[in-house]
Amino acid sequence: MRSDGCGTLRTDDAGRRVALCGWVARRREHGEHLAFVDLRDRSGIVQCVVDGASDLRSEYVVRVVGTVRVRPEGTDNPDLATGEVEVGDCTVEVLNRAEPPPFPVTDRVDADETLRLRHRYVDLRRGRMQRNLEVRAAVNAALRAAMERHGFLEVETPLLWVPTPEGAREFVIPSRLQQGCFYVLPQSPQLAKQLLMVGGLDRYYQIARCLRDEDLRADRQFEFTQLDLEASFVGQDDVLDVVSEAVLDATEAVVGERPKAMPRLAWGDAMERFGSDKPDLRAGPELVELDRVFAGSGFRAFAGAACIKGLRVPGQGDLGRNRLDALVEAAKGLGAKGLVWLRVGEEGALESPVAKFLSDEERAGVLAATAGRPGDLVLVVADERDVAQTVLGQLRLDLGRPPVSEGPYRFCWVVDFPLFEGLEADGRPIPAHHAFTMPHPDDLELLASDPLAVRSQSYDLVLNGWELGSGSIRIHRADVQARIFATLGISEEEAKARFGFLLGAFRYGAPPHGGFAVGLDRLVAILAGEDNIREVIAFPKTQSGVDPLTGAPAPVAPRLLADLGIRVLPPEG
RNA sequence: GGUCCCGUGGUGCAGUUUGGAGUGCACGCCGCCCUGUCAAGGCGGAGGUCGCGAGUUCAAAUCUCGUCGGGACCGCCA
């Protein structure tokens, strides 16, 4: 039916008779006997010169047979990849007519989100969406290639899984054959892949769909895709190395160059330096420690504070009082007792409502510690350590963070997470990752005495402030697992009830193993220059979880519910 | 569950602060003209429940309340 893609034609093709199929992107009529028709397919756009186009309209589907020729002198179009050629002597066959599209099929204007999704099949014709899905496919292919190269075996795992009490809210699937019982859709293949390790598959990977019934965000959809992997007889560095290579391969495949650095940050250092466990390395200066500078300060807000941290905001010394007051309010909203701001003036003079409470040494110390220069703004928070960190970390992003989709690509690993993230009201620790995460070998002795100080062998991959994925080395030995359960206050019976089938499997020879999962939608979005993952998903849902194209979710026939033994309650109120 | 922004011919916007006739801009659509354009150009035309519902008012796109839809965020996402 066709010989070439519209966007592939070049001067080399001049003289060739070609058959092209595509959509009418635009037509420019110059009277009865000359018209230019821009023909579009996935490969791009090419100009066809036809003898009258009055029977053609936008988005008509046509087949054009014509001869490629170099454009006449002075009429080439440098904005078009095919701009040096055109297709002449055309015969045009209309394969299908089309109503005018509900919104323009162009990257120039952004249409209403509902309209785009209701007519996604039109939206997908736009160059932006086609490029994004091509990026997605390229990332997919690069990741697969890397995993295959390292001997990982692709294995599929069930979508109909068993409810588990931990973690995200699950999508529930009623069973027809076992009325009153339910499957759930997996929030990740976590337990399945650990069973594969017990099963001796050694190295597993899967481009896996994961489902979580939680509220949607710019970086979260109900269903999302992960490069999921797990390997036996590995340590943390082995996992980090193979994931780094795969992700850098994918990045190189899309942007053409390979980010050189993939630094590893200890979680504690990330919190100290960036006030975040998913630091955006692009967002300006790091937080600095000011405890020493203000040790013994006469300023009441600083004296006796558990921690004093500062942040330099380059060039923002000219922020007005309204903005500065708003910053103080924002800091309080984030949990800080207060926020001190200082403008750095000429000669390093500090202008601030609290400047008069500070000694000369303190003022000089702040400038030296933050490297503040004239025109800068310096923010200081004195509070509990975690509060000072996270508040300044958030302000750092608010004041200095480029859009996530804006390069460069600054990957980093965050390692040495705490095993527990806090204490329940009754004093039991709360696992930060999941109950099967291996503690750091050096910290095993602290489990009973100081559980919150125990580090884990879990790790996150971060790109430009987005968490791209996480993983851990898992516990494979019953005695360590028992100690963790004891620390968590989980009895033997309870453990059996909640995780029975996994613990059962571990009795029959579980190898040491660990793994990772890379969030594909987020990676692709950033590499495609998008700040919303809907733009890299062919058929996403709106923020309220609706698909305007299909109308999902929708009621089902009463007969179907009857088969399932389900009765729907009337709406409340 | 909560906070904020948006909703105006097919599309994207302005108009809303300070109420006074559905006013405007660009694109698209329809018709005519036009032989080198490329976001073609010229002339003419059609197209509106100002998301929906109450309220205030002599008068509401504009003010108030509610509601629906979209988006960003908090909670939530081990």
A198 contacts: CB under 8 Å, gap ≥ 6? A505, A506, A508, A509, A510, A511
Of the candidates A255, A233, A230, the one whose C-alpha atom is nearest the C-alpha of residue A243 is A230
Give the per-residue pLDDT at A573. Answer: 47
Residue A225's H or E segment, with its range, is strand A223-232
Question: What are the strands, taking DSSP E only, across A397-454?
Answer: 411-415, 420-423, 429-431
Of the candidates A223, A214, A162, the one whose C-alpha atom is nearest the C-alpha of residue A190 is A162
CA distance A108 to A117: 18
The pair phi, psi for residue A48, each rounded to 5°, is -110, 135
| Chain B footprint bases within 7 A of protein beta carbons | 1, 10-13, 27-30, 32-41, 69-78
CB contact at 8 A, A95 and A526: no
Kindly provide the ipTM of the predicted complex, given to two decimals. 0.92
Give the DSSP per-residue string, A494-528.
HHHHHHHHHHHHHTTTPPPEEEEEEEHHHHHHHHT
Question: Computed over its alpha carbons, how large is the radius of gyration of chain A?
Answer: 30
What sign has the CA pseudo-torsion A145, A148, A152, A153?
positive
How many contiguous H segments (helices) and E segments (strands) does chain A have?
14, 22
- A36 CA: nearest nucleotide by C1': B37
Give the per-residue pLDDT at A475. Answer: 94
Instruction: Tell the burial category of A123 from Cβ atoms under 10 Å away from its Cβ (0-12, 13-18, 19+).
Output: buried
Residue nearest to nucleotide B13 (CA to C1'): A109
A143 contacts: CB under 8 Å, gap ≥ 6? A207, A227, A246, A247, A249, A250, A518, A520
Of the candidates A472, A498, A554, A570, the one whose C-alpha atom is nearest the C-alpha of residue A235 is A472
- The DSSP bridge partners found for residue A517 are A228, A470
Output the distance from A326 CA to B42 C1' rounded to whole Å: 54
Output the distance from A486 CA to B30 C1' rounded to whole Å: 78
Q: CA separation (Å) from A141 to A44, A137, A205, A214? A: 22, 6, 13, 29
| A563-568: long-range contacts, CB 8 A cutoff, minimum separation 24 | A563/A176, A564/A174, A564/A175, A564/A176, A564/A179, A565/A174, A565/A179, A565/A180, A566/A174
- A79 CA: nearest nucleotide by C1': B38
What sign has the CA pseudo-torsion A394, A399, A400, A404?
positive
CB contact at 8 A, A476 and A437: no
- A421 CA: nearest nucleotide by C1': B78
Give the per-residue pLDDT at A286. Answer: 93
pLDDT along chain A (573 residues), means of 10: 96 97 95 94 96 90 97 94 96 95 90 94 96 97 98 97 88 96 95 96 98 96 98 97 97 93 92 93 90 86 88 87 82 86 88 89 92 92 90 88 83 94 80 88 89 92 94 92 86 82 90 97 96 96 96 94 90 59
Output the distance from A322 CA to B15 C1' rounded to whole Å: 29
Of the candidates A556, A436, A566, A528, the one whose C-alpha atom is nearest the C-alpha of residue A128 is A528
Output the distance from A505 CA to B62 C1' rounded to whole Å: 68
